[in-house]
Amino acid sequence: MTEQNGDLAFLPLGGTGEIGMNLNLYRQGDTWLAIDCGIGFSGNDTPEAEILVPDPAFIVERRNKLAGLVITHAHEDHIGAVAHVWPMLQCPIYVTPFASAVLRRKLAEARLMDVPIRVVMPGARFDVGPFDIEFVPVTHSVPEAQSMVLRTPSGVVVHTGDWKFDPEPLVGPATDLNRLAEIGKEGVLALVCDSTNVMKPGPSRSESEVRVSMTELVASLKGRIAVTCFASNVARVETIAMAAQAAGRTVVLVGRSLRNLDTAARECGYLSGVLPFLSEQDVNDVPDDQLLMIITGSQGEPRSALSRISMDVHPNISLGEGDTVIYSSRMIPGNERAIMAVQDNLAKRGVTVITDREHFVHVSGHATGGDVQKMYELLKPQHVVPVHGEWRHLTAQAALAQEMGITPILMEDGDILRLSPGKLEVVDTAPTGRLALDGNRLLPMNGGVLAARRKMLFNGIVIGSFAVDDEGFVIGDPKVSAPGLLDPDDLESVRVREEFANALDVIPDELRNEDSAFREAAKTALRRALGRKLQKRPLVDVHVLRV
């Protein structure tokens, strides 16, 4: 990429054209700024990986020109990859106090102790290298979400992060409309704007309405109640706790991410109006009609507390006839099947499942179409760049911009948008990709390890092992194991073992003394022995032991 083609450019490496995995870059002169660094959930098309991270290779190559990483808010799709990616970037990180409390815990778990964290107060103005940045507090489903105003010699760019308009957000301040209008008067070159919920017309509904509705619902129920929501949604956790207290119920938190959130929130002065929560070990000390549990697992995550409860394999908690589970969340695209499976398992146990289709128990933290139009009126941007959404969300926002006479610019991950000088247009592309989080390792989705895992997943694996003497002739009987393909005792296994032994005997003598040639010949022998009967092409490997 030529880095002299203008003073100001924008490049999303993740989160534009998809939900999650947000990683955005701005370039001013030859200095870069990163905004957000999040994870995404893998969908049904990538069963070999559960959590995905945007590939930061482009900015890693330029890390000596990277002034810093700014986090707009503490949601996993904006902050969840920092602990995995930061060792490659080694730059200062700018966060609000709440995001700092969440991030420090993640970094400690990853044993990263020397990360330079700069805590910036909501609404503050600060510099990162040559970037003059102002935080504007906005409402979202996590405390201290900030939009960012970048003031550059080429003009003002507003990067919204995740936001909505809510006159009564209950936790944290309402979005600062007056400040947005003042920024609009300065003249805004481009608005880089969240698109997730833009297809919903009209203004956003308020968290305060959910609180009224949730309080009525909880008061009307008998038996054990479990509510699942996003762990980071402090306002919703407070809403659920208030509804429980009003109904004379004691609140128990179930799941590690909720316990971490509770600690971070109380450290920063949130949740001060609700009593301390009990832990899941206390569940059986509370009578069923006086218990409300807040539980992780709203997205059907296989190892989450709710998923284990639905299969009756949770060590402390069971739910059954007469109990209720309330889903105070939305389905993230790609998770539908997993969520339905958990709801189905709960229904089999006689549990009543209530979602936002049956009762008003959730409101999105993202701006509706009406909110977005109001934001345009306040900021009066010359151009709108839709981000944070799949292609259908981005095009829906582009249509709203056009209706209001604003020029939209559609782009996706890897597109480099020149913001100045001259015409705003995509001028180049950068390499992008996804890495899978595998334990604590980051593996390329198209690399050898995951390619082998995909092959094993659909075609299985066959391993042949045998011992040879120093001249390369087989000693004893070769062994063949094919987990997931063949049972060791069935006739097909016996046939494969025999044919493998016979094929090894006829390998030419000149291949027997050189290990790698012998292994390749033995692999070919094993593939032949498997034959066409299985109608699969499994991953084949052999272990040769020279005695």
Element (H, E) at 124: none
* β-bridge mates for residue 70, sequence order: 35, 94
Average pLDDT, the chain: 91
Residues 6+ apart with CB under 8 A from 260: 102, 105, 231
Average pLDDT rounded to a whole number, residues 23-52: 86
Share of the chain above pLDDT 70, in %: 97
DSSP 8-state symbol, 46? -
Q: How far apart are the C-alpha atoms of 64 and 73, rounded to whole Å?
A: 25
Cβ atoms of 158 and 191 within 8 Å: the answer is yes
- Please name which of 498, 497, 476, 499 lies closest in space to residue 547, comparing C-alpha atoms: 476
Strands, E assignment, 207-266: 225-228, 250-254
Q: How far apart are the C-alpha atoms of 287 and 283, rounded to whole Å?
A: 9
Residue 517 has pLDDT above 80, yes or no: yes
pLDDT digits (tens, 9 = 90+) for 179-211: 999 999 999 999 999 999 999 999 999 999 999
Residue 2: predicted pLDDT: 43
Q: How far apart are the C-alpha atoms of 190 and 150, rounded to whole Å?
A: 10
pLDDT digits (tens, 9 = 90+) for 90-108: 999 999 999 999 999 999 9
Residue 317: predicted pLDDT: 94
Residue 284: predicted pLDDT: 92
- Please name which of 106, 114, 61 lies closest in space to residue 84, comparing C-alpha atoms: 106
Residue 425: predicted pLDDT: 94
Residue 459: predicted pLDDT: 81
Q: How far apart are the C-alpha atoms of 375 and 381, rounded to whole Å?
A: 9
pLDDT digits (tens, 9 = 90+) for 53-98: 999 999 999 999 999 999 999 999 999 999 999 999 999 999 999 9
The half-sphere exposure of 514 on its side-chain side, counting CA atoms within 13 A, is: 8
Q: Which of 228-232, 309-313, 525-529 has the highest mean pLDDT?
A: 309-313
The DSSP code sequence of 147-210 is EEEEEETTEEEEE--S-B--S--SSSPPP-HHHHHHHHHH-EEEEEEE-TTTTS-SPPPPHHHH
pLDDT digits (tens, 9 = 90+) for 360-389: 999 999 999 999 999 999 999 999 999 999
pLDDT digits (tens, 9 = 90+) for 454-486: 777 778 889 999 888 888 788 888 899 888 788
Residues 6+ apart with CB under 8 A from 202: 368, 369, 370
Average pLDDT rounded to a whole number, residues 495-518: 84
Share of the chain above pLDDT 90, in %: 70
pLDDT digits (tens, 9 = 90+) for 301-359: 888 999 999 999 999 999 999 999 999 998 887 788 999 999 999 999 999 999 999 99
Which residue type does 177 have? L
Residue 507 has pLDDT above 80, yes or no: yes
Q: What pTM, to 2 d.p., does this model score?
A: 0.86
Residue 297 has pLDDT above 80, yes or no: yes
Q: Residue 137 in 3-state DSSP?
A: strand
Residues 6+ apart with CB under 8 A from 392: 199
Q: How far apart are the C-alpha atoms of 176 and 165, rounded to whole Å?
A: 9
Question: Strand 146-152 and strand 117-119: pairing?
Answer: unpaired
Q: Among 3-7, 146-150, 243-247, 299-303, which stretch is predicted with the lowest mean pLDDT?
A: 3-7
Q: How far apart are the C-alpha atoms of 184 and 162, rounded to whole Å?
A: 19
Report, in this order, helix, strand and coil percent for the chain, each rounded to 5: 35, 25, 40
Q: Residue 253 in 3-state DSSP?
A: strand
Residue 153: predicted pLDDT: 93
Q: How far apart are the C-alpha atoms of 489 and 515, rounded to whole Å?
A: 30
Residue 532: predicted pLDDT: 64
Higher pLDDT, 294 or 448: 294
Any idea which residue has 């102002």 for tokens? Answer: 134
Whole-number CA gyration radius for the chain: 28
